[in-house]
Amino acid sequence: MEPNVLLEALIEEAGVSRAGLAGHVNRAGLIRGLSLRYEHTAVSRWLKGQRPRGQVPDLICEVLAGRLGRSVGLDDVGMGACAGPGADGGGEGASLSGFVERATALWRSDEQQRPHLATVPAVTGTSAVMPVWEWENPPEDTDVSRPGPGRVSAADIAMLKAARDHYEQMYRKTGGIATRSRIVRFLNAEAAPLLRGGHSDALGRSLHRATAGLVAVAGICAYDSDAHGLAQRYFHQALRLAKSSGDRGLGGYVIALLVTQSLFLGDYRRSIAFAEAALRAAGDHITPALAADLHAMQAKAYARLGDAASARACIGRAEAQAGRIHTGREPDETGYVQPGLVDVQVAEALLGLGDLPAAREHAASAVRAPAHDRGRVHRLAMLSHIELLQGEADRAAGTAAEMAMRARGMESQRLRDRLRQVRGELAASGCSDAVRTTDLIDEALRVPL
């Protein structure tokens, strides 16, 4: 079940407790001749995603409408036809205004640190695939203009773009755990009112594009915090906003984030299919940097599935696209495809194929290339791992020592995973520098999360 963030938001807005809502529903049921005995535990189950039977959803709407002084429908309380896994990402047939309400309800719940959001698992099957399918296929949003209080300005759009850049840099330096609460607070305080504000179609598309970039970074931070269900929902939201913006390249970038998550979760076939969808649907709008990353990730997935021929074909396409990258012609979102990124992705694919010498060459090339702090830690971890596999434990210890030094102060679950992996491998190697290096890694791991 998916947490019902819409119902939670309305209960909070109405100023009623869970026990209070249960009591009001019981009394409303009596008027209809129903004998109901709901308590706060029932409301807790509804908030976790359970849909009550019979007339109870209508009674919930009736009670909340009376408290709020406005009409409240089943979709508003997360119990309509669009409800279900991933419903806050849009949902088939969901209106754009309805999507905005569902999306902002999730942001509010995340800012309030609702515990169930951090632990909800990522959806699979149709619920995972449908947002990508809807992005790729008609209908398009023909008009995203909106009447509303206030008017969105070009300065507002510029502010959102600057914020995306700021939070992306913060993530790269300090990790997603430290950045997530800050970017979610910004989404609630700044982006949500703008999405509800009045704007023309043209300005609305720019607004949705800028917001999509921010939401995508929020998803990256959730992914980096091991909150995979929440990350997936942010990615689905960003994809819906990318579609309403009309920017196909932006949608391809968001799908690349979903591919990264699918790879981490071990769903290699979905990774390949999503990457192919992005390459196909974005078409001429996809940039060399994004195409290179998507092909490289496909290579990693094929390698994991044991399909060497397809993996090597994708490696060739990734390297060809990497040679065409011109930084000044890339959008801000693909700035993560820095020199050496494709090398480290290819190294991982070659490692999966068992080609250690070639993997070592690519990993070493990635380490020599310039990179932001976070990327360099990942590259050093990969090189150290390969050096250990080749029996060069002392050299691996030196590489790992540099990795540990650069990781200090970063609050990232993904980096902690890499550090622990390298630490375990070094400790098992028994090399002379293992103890000193594992102590450095332990020091880096002592950063509280």
pLDDT tens digits for range 2-46: 788 889 888 988 899 999 999 999 999 999 999 999 999 999 999
Minimum mean pLDDT among 63-77, 207-221, 236-250, 340-354: which range? Answer: 63-77
Using the predicted structure, report yes or no on whether residue 299 has a pLDDT greater than 70.
yes
Inter-residue contact 147 to 198 (CB < 8 Å):
yes
The pLDDT of residue 92 is 41
Give pLDDT, residue 389: 95
Residues 110-120: tens digit of each pLDDT: 998 877 788 88
Mean pLDDT value of segment 102-107: 90
Predicted pLDDT of residue 87: 47
What mean pLDDT comes out for the span 175-202? 95
The separation between CA 15 and the C-alpha centre of its own chain, rounded to angstroms, equals 31
What phi, psi does 137 have (nearest 5°)? Answer: -115, 160
How confident is the model over 375-422, as pLDDT tens digits?
Answer: 999 999 999 999 999 999 999 999 999 999 999 989 999 999 999 999
Query: Domain locations in the chain?
Result: 5-80, 85-246, 372-449
pLDDT at residue 93 in the model: 44
Mean pLDDT, residues 58-76 taken together = 89
Whether the predicted pLDDT of 86 surpasses 80: no
Give the architecture-level CATH label for domain 5-80: Orthogonal Bundle (1.10)
Cα torsion angle, 209, 211, 213, 219, sign: negative
What is residue 224's three-state secondary structure?
helix
pLDDT of residue 120: 86
Tokens matching residue 139: 């209908």
Residues paired with 199 in a beta bridge: 146
Provide the pLDDT for residue 88. Answer: 54
**What is the C-alpha separation between 301 and 321, in angstroms, rounded?**
18
pLDDT mean across residues, the chain:
92
End-to-end CA distance of the chain, in Å?
Answer: 27
**Other CB atoms closer than 10 Å to residue 445's CB: what's the count?**
16
